[in-house]
């Protein structure tokens, strides 16, 4: 297997040849540098060719949205380029022929039958200039063929085809041909919209403007002209538009005369009459109405203003005064009332003005100015008041019932009450704002979670009264037992001989909540254990009487205040 890991150089060779002759190509390569390397010559497939003496291409210069190799009648040109590919050291003439549906000299300017390259000239060209003939012919073709001698003297050709496209007629739209403008109105935009032809378009207005639209604001009726030409310049269109500025008579407004009514809310019709101006009137009353004539009802004297605007923005105003003779009634409620559940409340209104004769209609069906209510829950009451003019006034009374009655509750801040030690009461009340305590020791308090001290043991009853902002009360009582201070005595000897005297050993005292006693022999062994202060040791261990001697005891005491005491001592067993 041969492997080439070195470099490759591309070589090109050329030679003049005679058509029909046989030629041999010999290629030799020498490799004398290093015996480790291989050398070779590779021939590219189909790389032996003869050069055509000429090539043809086109360069189209045109306007509009056209495809490749298209030109438009009377607009743009196409340049056909011929490039010599053979030797340019001598003169050479080639023949040209034309075909297609387009006619030489009619659809395009006359073209030559030959093209000559002078010595040293590598390129030549001809220009195709289309002619605008104003005829609707559709798209026409033009094929240009150049003939030259082939490699062996035979004729060969190169052909390129162009297409000549009709121009579309240009038209112009100025929308309305007559526009009515208002004296001293806003400027108008006059827009000339062309179509067809060959964009872009060029505008020329009678004002001297060259834009697609102009902004005008004439003081008198004026006609404006515009001419539009397309990019080719072979077509143009002309149009005009008249802006009419009318001369209007003054704008005049008449309204109803001022009027009076006795009672508030009496209906009144207000009328208006308008003349002059540019027409197209719009109406705006001070009460928000946009009608020409309106009907109103007012509780008090009011002025009603009307402004009329015509289509040119000219405005005129006038007004009507409607006087109400009697003042409208007014009412003042007693105000919100706060009661406890089950209580009654007096609610009502104080009325003034109007005709002085009032009728009351509560939503409870009562007809007095003041009523008594006993709502179970917070309730809003309504009363409608009318006078002899039928004018009415509606009032709201709000009775708030403190439905969430306070709940009085408390607990101790410790497990027990002990004589001479302060005890704290924890307030657990709900919905209350103030408190009153009695502690059954001659003391009281208004604090939230107060503290007191008891100096005598025994049962006590504590009272708490909780009150909310409405004055609603709730009371709770709790009874506790006041424990005495701890006092504890342990004897130092006992005689378990069955004579009924001093036969048992145990400690005794008051104020003890929890108790545990252990007794040890001389070797430190537990011989007795009790967790009840009622239990006593009879001197026996496992049913056998212990010998006389001294025994060690340890007692753990916990008082009702939670204090822990540890006591140790000796007791003598004597029989």
Summarize pLDDT for 487-500 with one digit per residue, the tens. 788 899 999 988 88
- Predicted TM-score (pTM) of the model is 0.40
* pLDDT confidence of residue 450: 95
Alpha carbon 76 to chain centroid distance?
56
Taking only the tens place, the pLDDT of each residue in 121-149 is 888 888 888 888 777 888 898 888 888 87
Q: Which residues contact 444 (CB under 8 A, 6 or more apart)?
A: 436, 437, 438
* pLDDT confidence of residue 230: 84
Residue range 487-573 in CATH 2.40.170: no
Which residues of the chain carry a pLDDT beneath 70?
A: 1-7, 15-21, 30-38, 46-67, 150-153, 391-393, 397, 399, 401-404
What phi and psi, each to the nearest 5 degrees, are found at residue 86?
A: -95, -165
Nearest to 274 by CA among 304, 245, 309, 322: 309
* pLDDT confidence of residue 167: 79
Q: Please provide the average confidence, as pLDDT, over all residues in the chain.
A: 84
* pLDDT confidence of residue 320: 96
Please check whether residue 431 is in contact with residue 406, taking contact to mean a CB–CB distance below 8 angstroms. Answer: yes
CATH number of this structure's domain 171-244, picked from the four choices 3.10.150.10, 3.40.630.10, 2.60.40.10, 2.30.110.10: 2.60.40.10
Q: What is the dotted CATH code of the domain comprising 330-401?
A: 2.60.40.10
* pLDDT confidence of residue 47: 67
Dihedral (C-alpha) 103, 109, 114, 115: value to the nearest 10 degrees? -140
One fold for both 330-401 and 487-573? yes
54-130+140-161: what CATH class? mainly beta
Name the CATH topology of 410-483: Immunoglobulin-like (2.60.40)
CATH architecture of structural domain 252-324: Sandwich (2.60)
Domain boundaries of the chain, sorted by first residue: 54-130+140-161, 171-244, 252-324, 330-401, 410-483, 487-573
Nearest to 538 by CA among 574, 505, 561: 505
What is the tally of helices (H) and strands (E) in the chain?
Answer: 0, 48
* pLDDT confidence of residue 20: 61
b/e 368-385 (16+ beta carbons within 10 angstroms → b):
eeebebebeeebebebeb
Cis peptide before 422 (omega within 30 of 0): no
């Amino acid at each position: 297997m041969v492997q080439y890991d070195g470099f490759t150089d591309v070589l090109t060779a050329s030679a003049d040849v005679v058509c029909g002759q046989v030629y041999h190509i010999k290629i030799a390569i020498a490799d004398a540098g290093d015996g480790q390397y291989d050398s070779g010559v590779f021939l590219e497939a189909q790389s032996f060719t003869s050069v055509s003496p000429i090539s043809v291409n086109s360069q189209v210069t045109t306007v509009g949205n056209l495809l490749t190799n298209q030109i438009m009648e009377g607009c743009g040109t196409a340049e056909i380029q011929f490039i010599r590919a053979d030797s340019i050291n001598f003169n050479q003439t080639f023949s040209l022929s034309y075909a297609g549906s387009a006619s030489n000299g009619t659809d395009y300017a006359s073209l030559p039958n030959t093209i000559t390259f002078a010595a040293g000239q590598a390129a030549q060209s001809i220009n195709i200039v289309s002619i605008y003939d104003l005829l609707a012919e559709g798209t026409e073709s033009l094929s240009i063929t150049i003939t030259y001698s082939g490699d062996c003297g035979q004729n060969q050709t190169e052909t390129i085809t162009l297409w000549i496209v009709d121009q579309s007629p240009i038209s112009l739209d100025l929308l309305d041909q007559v526009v009515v403008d208002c004296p001293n109105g806003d400027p108008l935009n006059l827009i000339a919209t062309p179509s067809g032809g060959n964009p872009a378009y060029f505008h020329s207005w009678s004002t001297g403007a060259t834009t697609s639209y102009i902004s005008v604001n004439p003081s008198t009726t004026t006609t404006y002209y515009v001419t539009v030409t397309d990019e080719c310049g072979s077509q143009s269109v002309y149009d005009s538009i008249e802006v009419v500025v009318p001369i209007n008579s003054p704008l005049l407004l008449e309204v109803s005369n001022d009027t009076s009514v006795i009672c508030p809310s009496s209906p009144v019709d207000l009328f208006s009459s308008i003349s002059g101006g540019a027409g197209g009137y719009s109406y705006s009353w001070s009460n928000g109405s946009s009608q020409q004539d309106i009907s109103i009802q007012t509780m008090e004297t009011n002025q009603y203003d009307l402004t009329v605007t015509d289509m040119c923005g000219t405005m005129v105003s006038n007004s009507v005064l409607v006087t109400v003779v009697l003042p409208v009634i007014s009412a003042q409620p007693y105000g919100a009332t706060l009661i406890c559940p089950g209580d009654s409340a007096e609610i009502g209104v104080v009325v003034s003005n109007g005709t002085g004769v009032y009728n009351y209609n509560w939503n409870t069906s009562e007809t007095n100015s003041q009523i008594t209510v006993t709502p179970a829950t917070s309730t809003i009451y309504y009363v409608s008041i009318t006078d002899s003019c039928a004018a009415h006034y509606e009032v709201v009374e709000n009775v708030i019932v403190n439905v969430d009655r306070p709940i009085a509750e408390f607990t101790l801040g410790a497990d027990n009450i002990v004589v001479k030690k302060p005890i704290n009461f924890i307030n657990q009340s709900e919905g209350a704002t103030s408190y009153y305590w009695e502690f059954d020791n001659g003391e009281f308090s208004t604090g939230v979670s107060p503290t007191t001290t008891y100096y005598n043991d025994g049962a006590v009853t504590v009272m708490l009264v909780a009150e909310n902002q409405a004055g609603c009360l709730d009371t709770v009582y709790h009874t506790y037992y006041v424990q005495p201070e701890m006092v504890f005595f342990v004897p130092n000897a006992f005689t378990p001989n069955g004579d009924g005297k001093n036969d048992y050993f145990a400690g005794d005292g008051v104020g003890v909540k929890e108790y545990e006693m252990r007794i040890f022999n001389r070797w430190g062994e537990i011989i007795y254990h009790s967790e009840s202060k009622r239990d006593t040791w009879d001197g026996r261990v496992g049913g056998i009487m212990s010998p006389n001697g001294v025994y060690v005891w340890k007692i753990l005491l916990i008082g009702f205040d939670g204090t822990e005491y540890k006591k140790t001592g000796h007791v003598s067993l004597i029989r």
